[in-house]
Copies of this chain bind each other. A is one copy, B any other.
Amino acid sequence: MTDRLIVVGGDAAGMSAASQARRLRPESELEITAFEKGEFTSYSACGTPYLVGKVVEDYEDLISRTPEEHRARGIDVRTGHEVTAIDTDARTVTVLDAVMGSTATHSYDELLIATGAKPLRPPLEGVDGRGIFGLQNLTDGIALRSFIDAQRPKHAVVVGGGYIGLEMAEALVLRDVHTTLVDQAPQPMTTLDPDMGAIVADALQGLGVELRLGESVLGFDLDDSGHVKAVRTGSGTVPADIVVLGVGVRPNSGLAQASGIPIGTTGGIVVDRRMHTPVDHVWAAGDCVETFHRVSRAAVAIALGTHANKQGVVAGTNIGGGYLTFPGVIGTAATKVCSWEIARTGLREADARKAGFETVAATVDSTTRAGYYPGSEPIKVRIVAEKVSGRILGGQIIGSEGAAKRIDVLAVAIWNEMSAGELVMTDISYTPAVGPVWDPVLQAARIAYREARGLGT
């Protein structure tokens, strides 16, 4: 008898899982149907700011596999189909065909929920005005770019200084739109410690972005046609004919919740290490789930393409009859703004203390190449470590080209619970063209270790 897998959501997690399950079980054994509300599958959501900024010309470049390509591989993808309800007892889903306007019920043997995340939309006056955009999926990116192409906005306000906010601010500057970034926090990138956030602020200003930090958005002024014309903050009014909301995302877990599938404290769907939910035959993967942070040991919901892809492979392997587990995350993330690469991993100092660690921290200024080698640029590395043991708990790096990938040294070190003292002596690479003889990461580790052991710098 042929089993049937139904996948809800056709991007990274859903289609990685579908593809992996297909690899392990032929069509004669497992029929796979993927319902996708939108029109695209398997695209790079992380690439949408570059589409808006015209760094990437064609949206098709962001698509790694189209519905047709999936179908050619034996996955029945149905775009424009929204799953509106799940009956986990009857093992059925209710599906709305947006084009036909019809509803149908499909039964499953295994169900994978991969509904992703949705951007937070603060319940402020005027937030639904025209010209106010969230940015979560490719359709959003295409709409935003079309709006810029057609309307030629002059003044943009980006609300929120996280990854999306920063990347969108740069994209808007690239499109010659005067851009103001408003954030209620005193620094952009609150995922960084304050001294590192200050550098990001300088970089944004260098790019021409006007910063209004420590200001809350109170509402949006709309003109008679319902189009945004200004953003009201606690400190004044900022003219704007386009607004991008980058105030964060949350797991898009409403469908699961309405179906009685347990939701965690983070708002993400609860899954075990195989990406199985507590409900029989129901799996979940990607931005809609909560996962385990290996340093804080807390449940976290982090919307990130890397996790979604990995979790998709894990879910698909298990659904396909194999065995694979997702080991959790440590909060690694990176972005590039202008010529600055920004990367972080593990816990910020404040988070580490909240998690019960007593901490020390070290920040060093160094260079991306040997000082004498042409093209050597500044890089700043911060390491947070546990007092006494020197165990590395977190790291942050800001610098020019070559800076971000250095975070991976810290990520793998944190993964393995290495102490900063051990890392100092670890045999990592050196050649003058790619670093000083003491890599900036090792320099920071050395100071962090000495601080942890009370040896002074």
Contacts and interface: CB of A to CB of B under 8 A. Distances in A.
Interface string A328-362: 11111111100001010100000000000000000
Contact of A432 (B47, B330, B405, B434): B47
A454 interface: no
A110 to B, nearest CB: 21
Give the oligomeric copy count: 2
Nearest to A326: B425
Contacts of A304: 430
Contact of A336 (B56, B309, B434): B434
Nearest to A417: B416
Given A50-B373, A401-B402, A405-B435, A333 B62 contact: no
Given A61-B372, A372-B47, A437-B306, A404 B429 contact: yes
A163 to B, nearest CB: 8
B405 A415 contact: no
A373 B275 CA distance: 31
A427 B370 contact: no
Given A332-B428, A334-B431, A370 B47 contact: yes
Interface string A426-457: 11111111110111000000000000000000
A382 interface: no
A406 interface: yes
Nearest to A433: B336
A327 interface: yes
A412 B405 contact: no
A374 interface: yes
Contacts of A405: 402, 405-406, 429, 434-435
A429 B343 contact: yes
Nearest to A412: B412
A427 B374 contact: no
Contacts of A413: 412
Contact of A334 (B309, B374, B412, B429): B429
A62 B12 CA distance: 48
Interface string A392-418: 000000000110111111011101101
A318 to B, nearest CB: 14
Contacts of A326: 425
Nearest to A308: B437
A396 B434 CA distance: 16
Contacts of A332: 427-430
Contact of A345 (B12, B330, B423, B427): B427
B327 A370 contact: no
A55 B412 contact: no
Nearest to A328: B427
A409 B412 contact: yes
11 contacts: A46-B430, A56-B374, A309-B437, A309-B438, A330-B427, A333-B429, A334-B434, A401-B401, A401-B402, A402-B402, A407-B428
Given A44-B437, A401-B402, A412-B426, 19 more contacts: A44-B372, A46-B431, A47-B370, A47-B372, A55-B373, A61-B372, A62-B372, A305-B430, A309-B437, A314-B425, A332-B428, A335-B431, A341-B433, A401-B401, A402-B405, A404-B434, A409-B412, A412-B412, A412-B423
Interface of A: 12, 44, 46-47, 50, 55-56, 61-62, 304-307, 309-310, 314, 325-336, 341, 343, 345, 370-374, 401-402, 404-409, 411-413, 415-416, 418, 422-435, 437-439
